[in-house]
Amino acid sequence: MRILLITYNFLQFYNPSSIQARRFFLELAKNGHHITVLTNKEKNTIEFQHKNIEVIEIFSIKKKFGFKLASILRFRELNFMPDWDLFFWNPFVWIKLRLKININEFDVVHTIASPFSTHLIPLYFVKRLNTLFVAQFYDPWVDNSYINLRFNFFKKLNLRLEKIVAEKADSIIHTNSIIVDKWEKRYGVNTMIKNLIIPLCMENNIVNKVKSISLSEKNSKIIISHVGSIYGKRNLNTLIKALQFIFDTQKNILNDLTINLVGTIEASELKKLKVLKFKEIFNLTGNVSHEESLIFMSQASWLLLLEEEGEEGLFFPSKLTDYLAVCKPIMGIIPKNCVSRVILSENGHHSFDHGEVENIANFIISLSKRNDMEINNKISKLEVKNVVSIYENSIEKLMYNKKII
């Protein structure tokens, strides 16, 4: 099978979408499929080579220009039309497709979002009947809680663009059933047969990779590690309130606690930490490589999963696959209705709503007495070989149906 993959993120070190895309399509290439990748050209990227994967880097205009313009005009909606890549990267991809690459030479044209405008690229080309268009969403589009649009024009524009993709794509891939339910209510029977759930995946050998990590000498302190960016609705508010409760009631508990925050932290969140009387318990590392993040996870006593505040969460956090692989107990501060809660529950971990401040505080107080150190996760369905097999079977069925038609 020949696949044309169009994805803005593929070669970056730290980007979760990039890591997931490489992991998934490397497995497809291992199975003998030939893949051509059109991706954004950046300065600092990994060196990548595979006999079945051709990577073509395509120039883009840096988005800082667009963000600066939106800031000057005080019109943040300009950042979500659906995104600046519609103007700053997509045109260069269209030129490459017009002059150098024939979409009809491929069996599958596969696009990944975000950025969401990536899904619009194939719509400008007439494809032959037997070429499939597959649109994969790592994050929700119209339902994205991190995009706050004030004006109906932009809300309707994004809804219209999403609907076009829903109608034109042969298959729509989402990461979980919660977002699929929303799509089926919004677009009806026509998209129900197109929707496919493919979770984010873990490397086949990641458990062995984790086992090979040399651990430091046992630390007398309890180490809680959170890996990933902290910004917007995925913030430290609930955790800080819980720690403040402990500080006010059993201050000595915090002497035996270290919290690693691994990854980018928004400036407003850093300000919150600086004024805390117990700020010394936090260890801020900044961005690290994927391999280094596994070390932080492996050396932790507990792993912390932070997700957005609210009743419902539509995201599948990519860090969760790595969390499960290191077989450490996980404490989730997450929405009441989300895929993470289902996965944590299935595997014997612990979840709290953002409103359960006192319960979270009491749980942290009890950590030294808990015996959750050995976790037997049921993770086979998240291993990339099994996730890829779902995709391959789906594509085979679509191709067969196309031939019948």
Which tens digit of pLDDT belongs to each residue from 235-250? 999 999 999 999 999 9
For position 369, what pLDDT does the model report?
A: 80
Report helix, strand or coil for 40. strand
Looking at the predicted structure, is the pLDDT value of residue 259 above 80? yes
247 and 354 inside one domain = yes
Residues 170 and 249: their CA atoms lie apart, in Å, by: 57
For position 165, what pLDDT does the model report?
A: 95
pLDDT confidence bin for 374, thresholds 50/70/90: low
115 and 129 inside one domain = yes
* Strand 132-137, strand 350-352: pairing: unpaired
Residues 43 and 5: their CA atoms lie apart, in Å, by: 21
Contact yes or no for 199/175 (Cβ under 8 A): yes
Is-cis flag, bond preceding 289, omega within 30? no
User: Where in the sequence is the domain holding 287, given as residue range(s)?
Assistant: 206-381
pLDDT confidence bin for 310, thresholds 50/70/90: confident
pLDDT confidence bin for 149, thresholds 50/70/90: confident
239 and 113 inside one domain = no
Cβ neighbours of 215 (radius 10 Å): 9
Looking at the predicted structure, is the pLDDT value of residue 12 above 80? yes
Q: How many domains does the chain have?
A: 2
Residue recorded with tokens 């109906």? 152
Report helix, strand or coil for 29. helix
150 and 65 inside one domain = yes
185 and 225 inside one domain = no
Contact yes or no for 378/346 (Cβ under 8 A): yes
The residues facing 135 across adjacent strands are: 111, 172
Looking at the predicted structure, is the pLDDT value of residue 218 above 90? no
Which tens digit of pLDDT belongs to each residue from 173-209? 999 999 999 999 999 866 778 999 999 998 877 777 7
Comparing CA positions, the residue from 85, 106, 91 lying closest to residue 8 is 85
Report helix, strand or coil for 367. helix
219 and 345 inside one domain = yes
pLDDT higher for 44 or 217? Answer: 44
* Strand 2-6, strand 108-113: pairing: parallel
Q: Is the dihedral of CA 170, 174, 177, 182 positive or negative?
A: negative
177 and 298 inside one domain = no
353 and 215 inside one domain = yes
Cβ neighbours of 191 (radius 10 Å): 18
Burial of residue 302 (CB within 10 Å: 0-12, 13-18, 19+) is: buried
What is the domain-level CATH number for residue 251?
3.40.50.2000
For position 372, what pLDDT does the model report?
A: 61
Is-cis flag, bond preceding 122, omega within 30? no
Q: DSSP H helical segments within 299-374, as ranges?
A: 319-325, 339-346, 357-365
For position 164, what pLDDT does the model report?
A: 95
Q: Is the dihedral of CA 321, 14, 178, 133 positive or negative?
A: negative
Residues 119 and 3: their CA atoms lie apart, in Å, by: 15
- What mean pLDDT do residues 356-364 have? 96
Contacts of range 393-396, beta carbons closer than 8 Å, 24 or more positions apart: 394/171, 394/196, 395/1, 395/107, 395/108, 395/132, 395/134, 395/171
259 and 400 inside one domain = no
Structure-block tokens of residue 297: 């996870």
Report helix, strand or coil for 125. coil
20 and 88 inside one domain = yes
pLDDT confidence bin for 217, thresholds 50/70/90: low
For position 340, what pLDDT does the model report?
A: 94
Rg (CA), the chain: 22
Tell me, what amino acid is at 272? K
Q: 54 phi and psi, to 5 degrees?
A: -105, 120
Q: Which residues contact 144 (CB under 8 A, 6 or more apart)?
A: 314
Mean pLDDT of the chain: 90
Its pTM stands at 0.91
Residues 290 and 298: their CA atoms lie apart, in Å, by: 12
Residues 259 and 225: their CA atoms lie apart, in Å, by: 6
104 and 172 inside one domain = yes
DSSP 41-107: --SS-----BTTEEEEEE----THHHHHHHHHHT-GGGG-SS-THHHHTHHHHHHHHHHT--GGG-S
354 and 398 inside one domain = no
For position 373, what pLDDT does the model report?
A: 56
For position 101, what pLDDT does the model report?
A: 93
